[in-house]
Every structure is written in structure tokens, then in C-alpha cells.
Amino acid sequence: KATKAGTSSGKSDKGTAGTAQTFGFQTEAKQLLHLMIHSLYSNREIFLRELISNASDAIDKLRFEALSDPALIGDDNDFWIRIEFDKEAGRLTIADNGIGMDREEAIANLGTIAKSGTAEFLSRLSGDQKKDAALIGQFGVGFYSAFIVADEVEVRTRRAGSAPESGTIWRSKAESDFTVESATIAGRGTEVVLHLKTDAKEFADDFRLRNVVRKYSDHIGVPVQMRAESDDDATDDESNAAKDAGWSTINEAKALWTRSRSDVSDDEYKAFYKHVSHDFEEPLTWSHNRVEGKLEYTSLLFVPKRAPFDLWNRERPRGLKLYVQRVFIMDEAEQFLPLYLRFVKGVIDSNDLPLNVSREILQQDDRVTSIRNALTKRVLDLLSKLATNEPERYNEFWDEFGEVLKEGPAEDFANRDAIAKLLRFSSTHTMEAAQRVSLEDYVSRMKDGQKKLYYLCAENFETAKGSPQLEIFKKRGIEVLLLHDRIDDWLMSSMRDFDGKPLQDVMRGDLDLPPGDDDPKQKDEGDSDALTARIHEALGDRVAGVRRSKRLVDSPACLVFTEADMGVQMRRILEAAGQAVPETKPHLEVNATHPLLARMDGLTDGARFQELSLLLFEQAQLADGGTLKDPAAYVNRVNALLLSLLGSE
């Protein structure tokens, strides 16, 4: 498998046979190798799964390239992955007759992580070996996993279609460098030779190797072969050529997704997920389905337990493995699922797409659109069943992928209602950030006469639950959704209603509350009087207006925006991205029944009234999680007030 790595400094000329060149690993690759060697002892056997997966991918890639150049395969069209060991020498070899690599590819591509995120990976390390080992699973392990069990690794490889003398040998002891030399290699493909550590000699054992292969790689659609020790070792599926050469096939050697669901065990599904995702952990759930009729295709889709480190990198290629008539076409076909479902892993195998399918064809083909729509509904249905039948496991999913799913309503109008039912929010019903409710839950608890679903967006949960705008709702016992993810403002801009009932931001516009016996004995918020006029004059152009509030019970003031104003969260996102944001002036709503407002109403000292008005405004900003333009001036005002109070004692 031509995987990504963090290589190296050094020359990359062709060299001559028998002449080795030395290259230095990048700093990140050195750190990664050290971690691989010292932190994964509890998962040592994982190296064999990774190397077999690499070999399987190399064969898939050769099959694809051979569609346009059959000479790459020639007469050698029986594909295999072979494992040999020498117990006395402590040596283990994994070989394949796949695509292979040329010299430049061997220098640039041996490994998986370093070019595509090693620095990010290393920045997340906690120093806890167990936790860090699990983190590696989110980044992939790949070729470097060989150093978990080997003191030295040698790779002998020759690219399909090249001459025997253009082979390459790559060697490293996982220290500061590796060597590359040209060599004559008879056949195409790659051979990875592991010189096992003293405490890893258990892997130079027939029984141990067969068990690991059956545990992790039984689903591989390529024969994994070992030397047959007796006739009993041979399987029904092995080829005559393998028998004649003394090899026996030790895995199922049939693509798992082509088998009937009733013939596949949960353990096999879990092993296959680890193959396609390179994840240490088992999947949270999966769906295996075959469609026949106008379109014929098979899908096997997995929802992971943990989010990958680059989940929020929307530009990174990601998608399903695409096969057409069992022939591998591409590794990350993003056209079959929308971007908000980018966490889904799996395989799609279609009989209806052309074998020479390209990304351009995929983007324009109506069949692809039909498959995409069907797979999207299948994933949403899978999540819906999980939420209904196993709510605790769905909460695990939500913790990892909930914010990504919130991208859905804006991007997928056709499935907006289905996505809305999957959303979860904190709420005043529980007042706990981790105890979330669905919109259906909220509707079931609506008060008599309540026509809207109320929500509040804030920077974080603590700010949300302490917001003054909630006071009238708490007093009336009306539930409010507390939205504190950065994406929530954007989400709600595309979700105007649910189940035919409008959603209303309690920080915007007028409130349409159900009738209550304790309606505030204040003027309508549109009314003006001398007090609000004085406060507006004191604040000047800092606010669009000052009015009496229906929202407040205990607090003296709060800020309210119009329906057309940009939300606080969205404003901060755009400002952080360096984009110009239009100036928005809020309304200041005041609680005329609050003692502070009553005292202010009687003040004749104009300067003191202005200072108190500014304090009201700035406190309202802080209560909403906002930032002050002039914090020093606010501090001076508070200090002056404190001195005044102390001086009066």
C-alpha cells in the first residue's frame, strides 16, 4: 500500500544496485516511532492486521490500474498475500503480488501518519500510555506498526510494469534514519521482512500467526496463505497453484460484504470495520444491505465509536471505499454520502457503474445520486433506531459526532425533518449539560397554549443556564433549549420550525408566551416612558433603544436583538475567521420593578445616572457572555461605585 509518511532528508536519485543511500527521518516521525515502540505492548498483534491490510490495498490498486493497462498483471493473475517465518532466525515475512513501489515511492510513502498530521497527533498526547495507544487508533497505525515487534524492518519492492533491475530495498532500525538501495527483484509486489525482537518471537509460530490472521483478516477478499504443514491445513477455496507450491489459504478469502448477513458474525463485522478504518476500537453500529432492482449495489456502513482527530477538516478527502463488480475503484469516494455524515466508514459495491468510473463521472451520474440518497436515508434510519432502542449508546454517538450532524439541516433540506429528530440539546428541563433532550421530548412537555419551541444560544452552558432571558420562563415552568455549541446559531438559521411549531430565540424580538396568571405587571415592551428615555439618552448610540421587559423577573436588565440581527455565536465565528461583521446594536430591556431601576428613577444627579446606566448596559453584555469594548472603564465605574458605598457607611 502506498501510504503517506513523514520522510526525510536526503537525495532521491536512482542510485545503483548494491549502493545504499541513507535518509534521516523527520523529527515528528522519530517521535512517532518511539511512541509506537514503547506504548503499544498491549496491542502488539495489531501489526499483522495492518501489514495484511496494506498488502490487500496494494492488490486492489493493481486491479484498478490494470483496467487501463492489462499488461501490469500479465499472466500472473492469481493474487495472494503470503506469510512465512523462520523460528530459528526470528524472522517474519509478509509478501504480496500487488502494485509494489518504485524507489521514489519507497522513500516518500512508507508509513501512514507523518505527512498528514503527526504534529497534530503529537500535540494531543497525554503521557498516559493506555490513552495514547487509543489515540493512535484515530490516526492510523499502518506500516510503522511493524516496529512494535521488530528491531529492524526490510522492505523489498518492485512496481508492477517495471523491469526486474528497478527493484528497491528499504531498511530501518527505527532509529534516526533509513537506507534505500536499488536491487534486482524477480516479481512485482512488496515483501516486508521483520527481524523480530527477542520478546516478540511468539510471532514466529505457525499456530499464533494463523490465529491472528483469522481474528483480524478473515474477511480480506484476497487469499492469505501460509506453508501447508499437512493436508489438513488446506481449505476448499485454495487454488491448485497454491497447493502445488505447498501453500494453504488460511482465511475466508471472500469479500465480507458479498456474503449474506446471516452468514457473517458480529466479530467478523467488527474485524472488517477495523480493516477499512484502521481503528483500534470496535464500531458503534453498522448496516449491511443489498439492493436489487433498477439499481443493484451492496453497502456495508459503519458508525465509529470515536471521532477522528481531523473530523472538522471539511476539506480533507473522505468517503466510502468504492468497488464496481468487485473491482476496487477508489479509496475515498465522497460522492455517496453528504459531508455532514463524513464520519461514516464502509464499502459500496455497485454493478451499475462503469468500471472506468472517474470522479467527474461520479459527480454527474444520476445513478450515483440515487445511491447517495438511499445511503443517506439508511444512515439516518440506522441512527434513529439506535436512538430509540439504545439511547445510552446514542448519547455516546452524540458526544462524538453531534456537532457534525448539526451541519445537516442546512446542507440537506430533503432530510431536514429526519435529522431534526436526531438532534439533542441541553435544556432547562434538566439543567445539566450532559443530560440532553430531543425536540420530540420537548414537544411532549409543552404547556397548554404554548405555540412555540423556545431556545437560547450562548457561548457555553454556564452562560446559557444563567442568562437573565430565562427568568420569566423559569417562573412560568416553560422549557427552554440551551444551545451552547458554536454551530448552533447557524443550525437554527436553517431550522425555523419542528413538527409544525415555530422555534423562537428568547434573545430576539418580542416574546409570544402562553397566557399565565402571573403576567408581568409592566407596560408593553414597545411602550416608552421617562425612565427608559433617560437611560437611552445616557447610553447614546450604544443601543438601538431602551424598553421595559417581559422577560425579566430578578435581574435589572438584559440585551435583546431583532429577528434580523446576527446571533452572538455567528458573529464570533466570523470575527475569529477575520471576516468583516456588520455592526449590530441591541435593545436594552429593563426590569422596572427591580429596586435598582426604582432608585435610578429618582436620581437627579445626571452624571451619576449616566454611570449607572452604563453599568446596567455593561452588566447585561457580560451576562450574555459578551466582551466589553472598554473593560478598564467598566472597572473604574465599579470601583467608583464601591468607594461611594464604603464612604457612606
Kindly report, residue by residue over 352-410, the tens digit of the pLDDT.
888 777 666 677 788 999 999 999 999 999 999 999 999 999 999 999 999 999 999 99
User: What's the rounded Cα separation, in Å, for the pair 638 and 649?
Assistant: 17
Work out the number of other CB atoms within 10 angstroms of the CB of residue 515. 10
**Residue 581 near residue 574 (C-beta atoms within 8 A):** yes
- Residue 408 contacts by C-beta under 8 Å, 6 or more apart in sequence? 338, 340, 341, 415, 416, 419
Task: Let me know the angle formed at the C-alpha of 165 by 103 and 78, rounded to the nearest 5 degrees.
Answer: 85
The per-residue pLDDT for 542 is: 92
User: What's the rounded Cα separation, in Å, for the pair 447 and 437?
Assistant: 16
By DSSP bridging, strand 177-183 and strand 247-249 are unpaired
The per-residue pLDDT for 277 is: 85
- Which positions of the chain have pLDDT values less than 50? 1-15, 41, 111-118, 135-140, 230-235, 520-528
User: What's the rounded Cα separation, in Å, for the pair 296 and 348?
Assistant: 11
pLDDT digits (tens, 9 = 90+) for 150-190: 999 999 999 999 999 999 999 988 777 789 999 999 999 99
H or E element in which residue 422 lies: helix 416-422
User: What's the rounded Cα separation, in Å, for the pair 49 and 103?
Assistant: 25
Q: Which residue has 420569566 as its cell numbers?
A: 472
User: What's the rounded Cα separation, in Å, for the pair 132 and 43?
Assistant: 12
- The DSSP string of 155-214 is EEEE-TTS-GGGEEEEEE-SSSEEEEEEE--SSSEEEEEEEE-GGGGGGS-HHHHHHHHH
What is the dihedral sign for C-alpha 270, 253, 45, 150? negative
The per-residue pLDDT for 124 is: 58
| Helices and strands (DSSP H and E) totals, the chain | 22, 22
Which of 458, 424, 417 has its CA nearest to residue 441?
Answer: 424
pTM: 0.73
- Residue 345 contacts by C-beta under 8 Å, 6 or more apart in sequence? 273, 276, 277, 283, 301, 302, 304, 320
User: What's the rounded Cα separation, in Å, for the pair 160 and 100?
Assistant: 6
The per-residue pLDDT for 232 is: 45
- The DSSP string of 450-500 is --SEEEEE-SSHHHHHT-GGGHHHHHHT--EEEE-STTHHHHHHS--EETT
- The DSSP string of 27-87 is HHHHHHHHHHHHH-GGGTTHHHHHHHHHHHHHHHHHHHHHTT-GGGTTT-----EEEEEET
> DSSP 3-state assignment of 309?
coil
**Residue 297 near residue 156 (C-beta atoms within 8 A):** no
Burial of residue 437 (number of CB atoms within 10 Å: 0-12, 13-18, 19+): buried
Which of 307, 370, 89, 280 has its CA nearest to residue 378?
Answer: 370
The per-residue pLDDT for 29 is: 61
DSSP secondary structure code for residue 147 in this structure: G
Phi and psi dihedrals of 33, rounded to 5? -60, -40
